[in-house]
Amino acid sequence: MNLQSRHLLGLEGVSKEDITLILDTAESFKEVLGRPIKKVPPLQGKTIVNLFFESSTRTRISFELAERRLSADVVNFAAGGSSVSKGETLKDTARNIEAMKIDMVVIRHSSTGAPHFLSRVVKANVVNAGDGEHEHPTQALLDMMTLREKYGTLDGLRVCIVGDILHSRVARSNIFGLKTMGAEVSVCGPATLMPRYVEDLGVKVFYKLEDIIPHVDALNVLRIQLERQKSGLFPSLREYHRYFGVTKEKVDRAPKPITIMHPGPINRDVELSSDLADGEHSVILEQVTNGEAVRMAVLYVLGTSN
């Protein structure tokens, strides 16, 4: 019942069985989260370090809660920017972790491949909480859990990821995971924010929301980062909202109601209108709860494996 790997570095190449195992285990943990005492003992005595080189409050808190609820001992390391600018190299940080006998590392880093590098240098289990623009596997897992809860299955489900696909690790992990589980994935966004060759990942590409909305069950709306606008990749937030913002008028044109997802935090009325974010078809808050359950499941499965 173990995962095929000692680490969760990404969803590319992770089998359907492994993803299903995590999602099924996450369901059990959702029940734990409904109890008055949300704590269970399986990771008692294990030490987990949260190595967050990129600042992130939500993801770090989510992981920390998951770790503590599994009774693990938690250490937080928050560093702004890359380790190089701090003086200590990632390699030395890794060696220190080894020397302190830490069992698991949850790492978020602005450089693609940092978790893979770490997994080669330390004996601890490594969980990728986001590396550069590459992958953010637990986010995609919680997205899939939410969709599976709503629709019963991911097989054949039609999902469109909307926004800055080029810079999005959430998009990439979702593409890899959803495709493995048999979903039909499409992406939609401005051409300057769309990676070339993305069709070769097996997704359909759209540049207009109106073209994909009639053919989709769920929209996963990505946050548009203000830095992208500053680097000139698209002209203005107003233009972005007008053409690519997910709004009620656009969504109402669909034959059936569309499920609205967002990894958070939302730029209200930029990429997603407030009424949709708070509306009856939004599962954004479930995503957060499921995030807890999924992270507990991942830590549990890796932490109790051999």
Partner 1 sequence: MKLYLKSGRVIDPNTGKDESLDMLIVDGTIEKIGKKLSADKTYQVVDLKEKIITPGFIDMHVHLREPGYEHKETIETGCASAAAGGFTAVCCMPNTNPAIDDESVVRYVHDAGKRVTKGLVDVFPIAAATKGRKGEELSPIAELAQAGAVGLSDDGAPIASAGMMRLVLEYSSMFGLPVIQHSEEPTMTKGGVMNEGFESTRLGMPGIPPIAEELMIARDIILLGYIPNAKYHVAHISTAHAIEHVRRAKAEKLHITAEAAPHHFTMIDKSVESFDTNTKMNPPLRTRDDVEAVKQGLKDGTIDAIATDHAPHTIDEKEVEYTEAPFGIVGLETAIGLSITELVEKNYLTLYQLVEKFTNNPRRIVGLPQIKIEEGEVANLTFIDPNLEWIVDTNAFKSKSKNSPFNCWKLKGKAVGIMNNGICTMV
Partner 2 sequence: MEVTLKTQILDAGGIRRTINRLAHELVENNKDLEKIALIGIRSRGEHLAYRLANLIKEIEGKEIPVGTLDITLYRDDLHGRLDQPKLKSTEILFDIKDKTLVLVDDVLYTGRTVRSALNALMDIGRPAQIELLVLADRGHRELPIKADFVGKNVPTSLSQEVKVLMTEIDGEDGIVLIEKEEDGK
* Residue 271 binds partner 1 (CB under 8 A): no
Helix (H) or strand (E) holding 75: strand 73-78
Q: Binding segment for partner 1 among 17-25, 103-111, 204-212, 280-288 (CB under 8 A)?
A: 103-111
- Residue 149 binds: one of partner 2, partner 1, none (C-beta under 5 to 8 A by kind): none
Out of 57, 76, 80, 84, which residue is the one contacting partner 1 (CB under 8 A)? 84
- Residue 201 binds: one of partner 1, partner 2, none (C-beta under 5 to 8 A by kind): partner 1
* Closer to partner 2 by Cβ: residue 126 or 296: 296
Name the amino acid, one letter, at 239: E
Q: How far is the CB of 196 from partner 1 (least distance, A)?
A: 6
* Residue 296 binds partner 1 (CB under 8 A): no
Out of 5, 20, 110, 267, which residue is the one contacting partner 1 (CB under 8 A)? 110
CA distances (Å), 82 to each of 131, 172, 190, in order? 12, 22, 29
Q: Binding segment for partner 2 among 34-42, 90-98, 234-242, 244-252 (CB under 8 A)?
A: 34-42
* Residue 178 binds partner 1 (CB under 8 A): no
* Residue 15 binds partner 2 (CB under 8 A): no
CA distance 276 to 239: 19
- Residue 110 binds: one of partner 2, partner 1, none (C-beta under 5 to 8 A by kind): partner 1
Q: What SS3 state is found at 220?
A: strand
260 φ/ψ angles, rounded to the nearest 5 degrees:
-105, 125
* Residue 227 binds partner 1 (CB under 8 A): no
Burial per residue of 232-266, b for 16 or more beta-carbon CB atoms within 10 angstroms, e otherwise: ebbeebeebbeebbbbeebbeeeeeebbbbbbeeb
* Residue 114 binds partner 1 (CB under 8 A): yes
- Residue 146 binds: one of partner 2, partner 1, none (C-beta under 5 to 8 A by kind): none
114-121 helix and 90-99 helix, angle to the nearest 10 degrees? 40
Range 133-172, binding partner 1 (CB under 8 A) = 133-135, 169, 172
Token pair for 23: 């999602």
* Residue 37 binds partner 2 (CB under 8 A): yes
**Cβ-based burial of 19 (10 A; exposed 0-12, middle 13-18, buried ≥19):** buried
Q: What SS3 state is found at 259?
A: strand
- 9, 137 Cβ separation under 8 angstroms: yes
* Closer to partner 1 by Cβ: residue 3 or 9: 9
**Interface positions with partner 2 (CB under 8 A):** 1-2, 24-25, 27-28, 31-32, 35-37, 39-42, 300-301, 304-306
